[in-house]
Structure 1
């Protein structure tokens, strides 16, 4: 799936560079914040333009990274990079979020005629903790409810991962990708019987 930014014709999407398993920690999330903000601005600028949704969409992108990122399996047989794995998920979540907001919006919004420079935000983001990501924007009821649900999951996920062994975390990541036991066994080079045993332990 080849994605292209709406902001600049022919410009490739952010790379979301990350190596190994992803964990929703400050250390792993902070380097990806500029990419998240760029994607949020991209969707906000796509027709119909709604630059007033940039911050809300940035929240959606951040929560998607935190929720979906841990499902990335760096040793999957496909050899896909983290960027290849996460970009379509973030883009899809942003597109859906914008559609929901447009559907439930009953007021006129001014069209922003200029361009948005994310460099100013990038300078301050580097010194922030990701705790502010849990702040839910004051949006419409359904949009807000979806974000609260995502936040609850993202808050509980790190606690869950801490009690799992490294192998169990690998199994958990595969399950979140809806992989079958045979696929997991092949990816992790273990028997299906062992996979079944581990699945019972993490579910």
Structure 2
């Protein structure tokens, strides 16, 4: 009789244990439901994109900063004066020179702005006092006086520009800015020749 009771007890105990054991199917279901949700809906590519913030890859030396500032202000003045020449000049060669300055320097200015945006550098947004005075003095002139003053300015200004751009190409540190200077030099040299021709035409 004791043996039968013990046996029944053992069977009952085994049955109870088995009920508490999760089946393999419930385990797999549980593991599926417990998988961690995607974090805030971000994918791996999203996190990669976030890492691509604009950070200057190289620091600029004093030469780079001085050149970039001067090129920005000088380029802006060339466009403003070119607009004046295209409108106010009496001589056709001077009008043509002004239009060329607007086209070429607008393009160069845009390239410089693109460089600044990529490196996080802030360029001057306007003329300095010296260049503003030069512009105002030119704006006040009319006819042949305007033509002579404008061509004189273009000759002297482009001689200075060429020297500055050559210096940056040789002594600058930031490679893309040096490249901009080298690439723009032939255009400035062409501008100087055309300015000298226009100057001779208004003598």
TM range (shorter): under 0.3
TM-score by length of 1: 0.26
TM-score by length of 2: 0.26
Larger C-alpha radius of gyration, 1 or 2?
2
